[in-house]
Structure 1
Amino acid sequence: MGFADQRFTVNLSILFTELPLLERPAAAAAAGFGAVELWWPWTDAPVPERAALDALKRAVDDAGVRLTGLNFYAGRLPGPDRGALSVPGEESDRFRANIDVAADFAESLGCTALNALYGNRVEGVDPAEQDALALENLTLAARAADRIGAALLIEALNEPESPRYPLVSAPAAVAVVDRVNEATGLGNATFLMDLYHLAMNGEDLPEVIERFAAKTGHVQIADSPGRGAPGTGSLPLEELLGRLRKAGYDGRVGLEYKPGDRPSAESFDWLPREAR
């Protein structure tokens, strides 16, 4: 199995960022892709104006692409924030205000996966308090996702780039997945397996795939080191995705890499157009 056997989706929050947000869906379509995903686009607005939501929906619809994944509000991405749902006070409140807004927007575009970044540890706050708040908010998010027929994704990041983020291994993220499913009884919480982050953590990727493919709801890739396109680093991404397919994962693979110093449309030369 190789890249041609996969179904890819382009993350428009890290690729095509040289273009205004509303032009990115059409650019992805012009590059040959039929599916896109997004971090929450309005970093300072968990509840944006209706006109902003409508404009983005129209841009996706007009481009003829499908939105397959969307993050809940997570603070400033890219930037120092790594989620809001476990951060007591205003950030947690903003996350809660965003839950139904994000779910309804996702539903309007047929999106079936919602990613909830856990949130950084906060100095002076008991980690147990943050974990209890996270479980409470993830339960609300899982129920909202279930209402629209979507999966809730829970992601491990990497410790070198996100030192205050507590989920920096596949087992840590999957443990939260299990706790959320136990709390809700819905079974729609799943693991977001980002091979770049796991590689940066030094994890044994074939072992992670073998152990957790069955609990994986989405996969994202970038090469490591550097977080560039496949072939710019040392990860055997084609082989790893083949392993995932053999292990039973048949979902899409999100392209969440940096294009480097060239236009995003030129960063897909590793993937034949007919395979997009």
Structure 2
Amino acid sequence: MGYTDQRFDVNLSILFTELPLLERPAAAAAAGFSAVELWWPWIETPTPPQGELDALKKALDDAGTQLVGLNFYAGKLPGPDRGALSVPGEESDRFRANIDIAADFAASVGCKALNALYGNRVEGVDPAVQDELALENLTVAARAADRVGAILLIEALNKPESPLCPLVSAPAAIDVVNKVNALTGLGNAKFLLDLYHLSMNGEDLNEVIDTYAAQTGHVQIADNPGRGAPGTGALPLEDLLDRLSKAGYDGWVGLEYKPGDRPSAEAFGWLPN
């Protein structure tokens, strides 16, 4: 068990970022990966020209890489934003404009998981109003994901790095998952279990895995401290992934860590041969 039994994919929004977007799938393939994931690549717009969507699809196809996870539009990532769907006004409108575009692109490349980041609290806005807006947008997103045979992922971030985001614990994210599923009746909202974020929150990772593995639709990892590759921090990631496997999780594990001061292609020495 452990690393040798996992299906790893590379997050091309944090690794291989020294390369232009369209060169990253081939770089991941050259490093030995057949699967990749992405934050929404066009952070300036939720509605990129069709030609740019087609170019990314071609880059993925030419490299032989499968896109296994894609974020809906989430504002500036990396940057101050933590999503758009609960932010009233222009940002919520941008999220809504992105839903079908992201879902249709996912369908075009066979991607089966769409991640919807919740967003920050806004000063002067009643949190209940934001939460109502969030559920409205998430139900639309869940239906769009279902239309293309995909799941909707809800992710818990970490409070030290995302102090204005309300989803900074596994129970908080699971609560939203349950509410969306209750509203849609589709059952396709799932938990994105990010071991780095949860460890930053000080959560009991073994307990989180045991409690929520059945509701988990995707897993992401980075070591802590530092958000580097496994082995650069203190997290027992191999043991945690082994526990996930024994709990029944057999999906993808996204490598969402910083490569450090080296080229991304050299950041995978921890992987078994």
- TM-score tier after normalising by the smaller chain length: over 0.9
Matched, 1:61 2:61: yes
Aligned residue pair count:
273
Q: CA deviation at 1:148?
A: 0.4
Map residues 1-276 of structure 1 onto 2, 5 A cutoff. 1-273=1-273
**In 2, Cα distance between the equivalents of 1:230 and 1:115?**
23
SS state of the match for residue 54, structure 1?
A: helix
**In 1, Cα distance between the equivalents of 2:2 and 2:24?**
27
Deviations 1:49-101, CA, capped at 9 Å, x for gaps: 11111111100000001000000000000000000000000000000000000
**In 1, Cα distance between the equivalents of 2:250 and 2:188?**
16
Letter in 2 for 1:205: L
SS state of the match for residue 217, structure 2?
A: strand
Letter in 1 for 2:122: V
Deviations 1:5-59, CA, capped at 9 Å, x for gaps: 1000100000000000000000000000000000000001100011111111100
Letter in 1 for 2:102: A
Q: CA deviation at 1:2?
A: 1.4
**In 2, Cα distance between the equivalents of 1:180 and 1:85?**
13
**In 1, Cα distance between the equivalents of 2:2 and 2:210?**
18
**In 2, Cα distance between the equivalents of 1:18 and 1:4?**
28
Letter in 2 for 1:93: D
Deviations 1:176-216, CA, capped at 9 Å, x for gaps: 00000000000000000000000000000000000000000
**In 1, Cα distance between the equivalents of 2:207 and 2:44?**
38
**In 2, Cα distance between the equivalents of 1:157 and 1:269?**
27
Q: CA deviation at 1:153?
A: 0.1
The alignment yields a C-alpha RMSD, in angstroms, of: 0.4
Deviations 1:106-163, CA, capped at 9 Å, x for gaps: 0000000000000000000000000000000000000000000000000000000000
Letter in 2 for 1:129: V
Q: CA deviation at 1:255?
A: 0.2
**In 2, Cα distance between the equivalents of 1:162 and 1:139?**
24
Q: CA deviation at 1:272?
A: 2.7
SS state of the match for residue 88, structure 2?
A: coil
Q: CA deviation at 1:236?
A: 0.1
Identity %: 81
SS state of the match for residue 254, structure 1?
A: strand
Q: CA deviation at 1:237?
A: 0.1
**In 2, Cα distance between the equivalents of 1:245 and 1:62?**
32
**In 1, Cα distance between the equivalents of 2:54 and 2:133?**
32
Letter in 2 for 1:131: D
Letter in 2 for 1:49: P
**In 2, Cα distance between the equivalents of 1:69 and 1:121?**
25
SS state of the match for residue 45, structure 1?
A: coil
Deviations 1:237-264, CA, capped at 9 Å, x for gaps: 0000000000010101000000000000
Letter in 2 for 1:237: L
Q: Which runs of 5+ in 1 are unaligned?
A: none
